[in-house]
Amino acid sequence: MKVGVVFGVSELANPKAFEKRVSEFLTALAKDFEVVGGFVLSSKGDFKEAKGELNFNEVDALVLYPLTGGTEGFLKEFFVFRRPTVIFGDPFNNSTAAGIEIREFLRERLVPSTLVKTMDELKAALLAYDDSLETLEPFLRARLGLIGRISPWLVNEKFDLPYTKISLKKFYEYYDKVPDEEGWKVVEEIFERASEIKEPGKEALTKAGKMYLAIKEILHDYRLDGFTIGCFDLIGKLKATPCLALAMFNAEGIPAGCEGELNSLLGMYIIRKYFDKPAFMGNVADFGENHITIAHCTAPLLWKYRLRSHFESGMGVGVDVEFPTGKAALFKIRGRRAVVAGVEVAGNEHLENRCRTQVKLKIDDAPEFLDGTLGNHHLLAYVDPEELADLLSELGFEVMLY
């Protein structure tokens, strides 16, 4: 197991006073692990130098040892590598106090983190992470992208994980390179398979196809595993929405979210990566004592569907997908927290004053669930809710299972 080791010493302290401790620590750890690094840092400048000297993305785990307090500000920067981290704290010089602060910073960003105080505990923690790497790696290595901006009405959006930002200007560059005939060609079969086409014409479908091909190139060039897009900002310029493109990507196995919401995208990625299934991102449209209805204008294009316009704008191509009945999980993640509920897909509705895909779910005590949930957008997936809750816990979320 390859372990990167970094020590922290306050700028107020003398690093030479800790040379023996550092040497003994590295020697003891090297008896059981392949140790790399061993840097002693005192500032963010030192962090940048260490980052340039060693690619910490290549280690299996990190060990951070704050030898003194006052080291939190630069040791926390190692969260960008998203490596399982063990923090060593000793009883002196505010070492443990600094370690607790760093641990919480990392956990808030869903980096697995443990605080220990002995070499035996350290070795055990590293071996435990080694056993979990197969589960943790797909989550920690995810490459997610945001095209455009997070929609301003997502007032509870909190996302501190690294992601790739692609401007709408860059998106339009890709979009403008796609010929109209290619845009139509990629959606022609979808047009033919639709059970009904109400509002959209060939021009709207062609624009949807061009968006799909533009985003496909972006995913390739930026090496992304999934993306979300600030879709409403496209309406003014293109008079179109990417709802159909997102429906196509989700059907093909590529997590694709709307409104620029990264938390929902992360949930979609988890469902796809660990269960090989899509997730439907929906608004809570209605609820009663034992039901919740969720709705959106994009959904995985896997079952019978109608092509509609986007609900709010009346433009573009939205989809009305018929979800099959069956057991499923409804969940929401935001930051470090998650709520999960077992539900049953009871049927579909087709009201004109809602987003186009409308799915009615049976759920025990819906008001209680909604009272404890974490915001509007929820994800629906045909997975076992207890399995999902266990997985989310293993990945570092604090989970409430209903």
Residue range 143-171: average pLDDT? Answer: 95
- CA–CA gap between residue 367 and residue 374 (Å, rounded): 13
Instruction: Tell me the backbone φ, ψ of residue 380, rounded to 5 degrees.
Output: -115, 130
pLDDT at position 299: 98
The predicted model scores a pTM of: 0.94
Domain locations along the chain: 2-140, 144-401
- Tens digits of per-residue pLDDT, 100-132? 999 999 999 999 999 999 999 999 999 999 999
Residue range 274-290: average pLDDT? Answer: 97
Candidates 2.160.10.10, 3.40.50.720, 3.40.50.10940, 3.40.50.300; CATH matching 2-140: 3.40.50.10940
How many angstroms separate the Cα of 24 from the Cα of each of 73, 119, 128, 165, 231? 25, 11, 23, 43, 55
Q: Does the pLDDT at position 336 exceed 90?
A: yes
- Tens digits of per-residue pLDDT, 171-227? 999 999 999 999 999 999 999 999 999 999 999 999 999 999 999 999 999 999 999
Tokens 């490596």 -> residue: 83
Q: 251 falls in which pLDDT band (50, 70, 90)? A: very high
pLDDT at position 236: 87
- CA–CA gap between residue 305 and residue 307 (Å, rounded): 7
Q: What is the gyration radius of the CA atoms in the chain, in angstroms?
A: 24
